Amino acid sequence: MIEIRPLCPADKPDWLLLWQGYLDFYKTMLAPEVTENTWARLLSPTGGLEGLAGVDEAGTLVGFAHYLLHPGTWDTGHVCYLEDLFVAPDARNLGAGHALIEHLAMTGRASGWQRVYWQTAQNNKTARRLYDKLATQTDWVRYEIEL
């Protein structure tokens, strides 16, 4: 059984371990001040980011979801971008990823959001198996300009 709740200050040590696992998975390194800024924004009511915790029966943080809301142009409601989703490798297949995404979808339905969307690496087969069960893969192609 996985409980989904907002991230709270007491989660920071466990979140840091999961965050590092997430960065390692994507073979990325961030300066410590970026991580600190991300954590602060997740907890701030004006930080622009929201964070959910997936907690197991023992009360251990086993996964997180970071998301942001933004206005849409094709409706009057908000759109939710799921920016980061990560579950500890030893907690996979317990339903944490599914529960985190479903929680966002339920919140969105209750709040009148237009949609929840996200992206993942083409080769992230484990995550894509879950995503294929919960959502529809679109034909959109992503472009970026690094600044």
Mean pLDDT of the chain: 94
In the prediction, which pLDDT does 65 show?
Answer: 98
Q: What is the pLDDT of residues 45-82, one digit of tens each?
A: 999 999 999 999 999 999 999 999 999 998 888 999 99
**CA dist., res. 19 & res. 37, Å (int):** 13
CB atoms within 10 A of CB 142: 5
CATH of 3-134, one of 3.40.50.300, 3.40.630.30, 1.10.510.10, 3.30.110.70: 3.40.630.30
- Segment 141-147 mean pLDDT: 87
List, in sequence order, the alpha helices (H) in 10-141: 12-25, 32-43, 96-111, 125-134
CB atoms within 10 A of CB 58: 6
Q: What is the pLDDT of residues 75-133, one digit of tens each?
A: 888 999 999 999 999 888 889 999 999 999 999 999 999 999 999 988 889 899 989 89
